[in-house]
Structure 1
Amino acid sequence: MATILVVDDELGIRALLSEILSDEGHTVELAENAAQARQVREALRPDLVLLDIWMPDVDGISLLKEWGTSGLLTMPVIMMSGHGTIDTAVEATKHGAVAFLEKPITLQKLLRAVEQALVRPGQRLAAAGVAPGGAREPLPASRPFLNGSPALVSTGVAAAPVPAVPPGPRPEQSFDLDRPLREARDAFEKSYFEFHLAKEGGSMTRVAEKTGLERTHLYRKLKQLGVDLTRNKRGVS
């Protein structure tokens, strides 16, 4: 497991990402601005940084450039933004970011990006087309996007294969009621959440809205029920 620094000026975003990443077994450190991020990076040397672009003092792109020009970009950085564009994503990767996540960040996108960013440096460089001497091969004209939008631009990580389209959600199901109440309730709740995940294409944000749960509570509930979150991933195109 890794030490991950989350840098975002929004308390809710920091809390949500910390909750999810901690549940995955990572050690999470938080910073709300560039000054705090510099301090944590110097003191702890995190294995990965999730860095917001729009912050009140120094923006994330400027901090990324600063780390790069001063030789401090020794860890992978994933940029985040709720107002990102293709140009922003390209600029971020040009200055050393390994991926770009557009807010609201779905659970699947977050965990996939973190997993890919934490591969060993040699593997990441090889996948990015960087020669042993440090020279980067020319980037292709097109980059991978999720769902046809710049939700995640990844350098150093090959796009995952498009999974088979799952069958549509079934609103009517039958349940075995000849069992203890708790087991029957858990079976119903699992089917209920699987239905909404399939209907919303795996979007935790939309499922939280539909079911009336906080995203953190929803995430805990799905893990408790053993819901397979990977089954409802959207394909990468």
Structure 2
Amino acid sequence: MATILVVDDELGIRALLSEILTDEGHTVELAENAAQARAFRERSRPDLVLLDIWMPDVDGITLLKEWGASGQLTMPVIMMSGHGTIDTAVEATKFGAMAFLEKPITLQKLLRAVEQALSRQTPARPSASPLAPATPNHLAGRPVAADGVPAHGAGGAALAPAQGNGPQAEQVFVLDRPLREARDAFEKAYFEFHLAKENGSMTRVAEKTGLERTHLYRKLKQLGVDLTRNKRSHGN
């Protein structure tokens, strides 16, 4: 994961971005003004900088110019502003910024911009083989085994657990039990699948499952999901 420097004079913005990015597994450093950002850049080079434009001492574009002139602009920079214009965004990119985010920043836009910025510094992951067969439309949304055959038995219960160490999309559920027990077993498997798929990110799981984070935490605790295991896996 990456080291990300967040530079913003608003405490609430710093706290929010720090929470989201830390939850994604990144190391987050905070600076409330240009002086603190300069000091951090003198000590080390972050993998990415989220830089506010309008700050009380020195604005973000001026700091961006300084880093460029001194040869310290060796990392991608994403500019942020709640009062930005097209001219501001163009000026920022002219001096080395790779993206511009308008406040209030949505979760999806933030994560997409961060992912794109960091991908510029790391080799791209190999894409899926173009020869891989597509799932027929009439099977969409149904558990499918490796050979493309629907993995369903009587009553629509999945009978063929997925192989390997990754997220298990298909599992066996015992239906000859009380409804509450069967439902809890399914929900536990459902959330464990999404936690594994999202590398333990509560933010992404909340987004994927449509639950508020507080509700999600309560639900996982109620179902007995081992969150410490997911955190350990996320750290490896």
Q: CA deviation at 1:44?
A: 2.4
CA distance in 2, matches of 1:47, 1:14: 17
Instruction: Name the structure 2 match of 1:106.
Output: 106
Instruction: Name the structure 1 match of 2:72.
Output: 72
The 1:22–1:79 alpha-carbon spacing in structure 2 relative to 1, beyond 3 Å, is same
Percent identity between the two aligned chains? 78
1:17 maps to a residue whose letter is L
CA distance in 2, matches of 1:118, 1:223: 29
Residue by residue over 1:110-134, the C-alpha shift from the partner in whole angstroms, topping out at 9 and shown as x without a partner, is 000000001244879xxxxxxxxxx
CA distance in 1, matches of 2:114, 2:217: 18
Q: CA deviation at 1:179?
A: 1.4
2:94 maps to a residue whose letter is K
Structure number with higher relative contact order (C-alpha < 8 Å, ≥ 6 residues apart): 1
CA distance in 1, matches of 2:6, 2:96: 17
Of structures 1 and 2, the larger Rg is shown by 2
CA distance in 1, matches of 2:217, 2:113: 19
Secondary structure of the corresponding residue to residue 17 of structure 2: helix
Q: Are 1:61 and 2:61 counterparts?
A: yes
The 1:14–1:71 alpha-carbon spacing in structure 2 relative to 1, beyond 3 Å, is same
CA distance in 2, matches of 1:36, 1:61: 15
The 1:123–1:37 alpha-carbon spacing in structure 2 relative to 1, beyond 3 Å, is same
Secondary structure of the corresponding residue to residue 179 of structure 1: helix
Instruction: Name the structure 2 match of 1:117.
Output: 117
2:75 maps to a residue whose letter is M
Q: Say how many residue pairs are matched.
A: 148
Question: Please, what is the CA RMSD of the aligned residues?
Answer: 3.4
Residue by residue over 1:86-106, the C-alpha shift from the partner in whole angstroms, topping out at 9 and shown as x without a partner, is 111110001000100000000
Instruction: Name the structure 1 match of 2:153.
Output: none
2:118 maps to a residue whose letter is L
Secondary structure of the corresponding residue to residue 118 of structure 1: helix
Secondary structure of the corresponding residue to residue 111 of structure 2: helix
The 1:69–1:14 alpha-carbon spacing in structure 2 relative to 1, beyond 3 Å, is same
CA distance in 1, matches of 2:50, 2:13: 11
Instruction: Name the structure 1 match of 2:45.
Output: 45
Instruction: Name the structure 1 match of 2:85.
Output: 85
2:96 maps to a residue whose letter is G
The 1:8–1:218 alpha-carbon spacing in structure 2 relative to 1, beyond 3 Å, is farther
CA distance in 2, matches of 1:223, 1:81: 32
Instruction: Name the structure 2 match of 1:97.
Output: 97
Q: CA deviation at 1:225?
A: 6.9
Residue by residue over 1:176-213, the C-alpha shift from the partner in whole angstroms, topping out at 9 and shown as x without a partner, is x9315x949x79xx9xxxxxxxxxxxxxxxx9xxxxxx
CA distance in 2, matches of 1:36, 1:23: 24
The 1:222–1:72 alpha-carbon spacing in structure 2 relative to 1, beyond 3 Å, is farther
Q: TM-score, normalised to structure 2's length?
A: 0.55
Q: Are 1:13 and 2:46 counterparts?
A: no
2:50 maps to a residue whose letter is L
1:179 maps to a residue whose letter is R
Consecutive unaligned residues of structure 2, counting only runs of 5 or more, are 125-177, 192-206, 221-236
Q: CA deviation at 1:3?
A: 0.2
The 1:224–1:102 alpha-carbon spacing in structure 2 relative to 1, beyond 3 Å, is farther
Q: CA deviation at 1:40?
A: 1.0
